[in-house]
Amino acid sequence: MTESCGKCIPCRAGTAQMYTLLTRICNGSGTMEDLELLEGLCSTVKEASLCGLGQTAPNPVLSTLKYFRNEYIEHIVHKRCPAGVCNLEAPVEVQA
């Protein structure tokens, strides 16, 4: 995100939005819609960016979504980080 030059929109705003969505998921306030949104956003950043930076920036997210999707879902549904990396102990907004 900090490497983006800012010329084209998908990379400039897209990587920043990816970061926002990932942060939401990691701190336990993400939803399954966010996951779907993240996936769609990654595909736009990858395919529509002007240069190689934007075109490859979503790769880590896309490959973790491919091989570790269950960990994403674990964060969203059970508010738990299987790898013990994310701090999910903070009080989480409970859906009514």
Residues in contact with another protein by the rule CB under 8 A: 1-10, 12-17, 20-21, 33, 37, 40-41, 44, 47-50, 95-96
Q: How far from the centroid of its chain's Cα atoms is residue 16's Cα?
A: 10
Distance in Å, CB of 14 to another protein, minimum: 6
Q: Please identify, using beta-carbon distances, which residue of 37 and 70 lies nearer to another protein.
A: 37
Distance in Å, CB of 83 to another protein, minimum: 25
Inter-residue long-range contacts of 50-54, CB under 8 Å, 24+ positions, other chains counted: 50/7, 50/8, 50/10, 50/11, 51/8, 51/11, 53/3, 53/4, 53/5, 53/11, 54/4, 54/8, 54/10, 54/11, 54/14, 54/15
Q: Please identify, using beta-carbon distances, which residue of 70 and 95 lies nearer to another protein.
A: 95
Q: Please identify, using beta-carbon distances, which residue of 6 and 91 lies nearer to another protein.
A: 6
Q: Please identify, using beta-carbon distances, which residue of 6 and 84 lies nearer to another protein.
A: 6
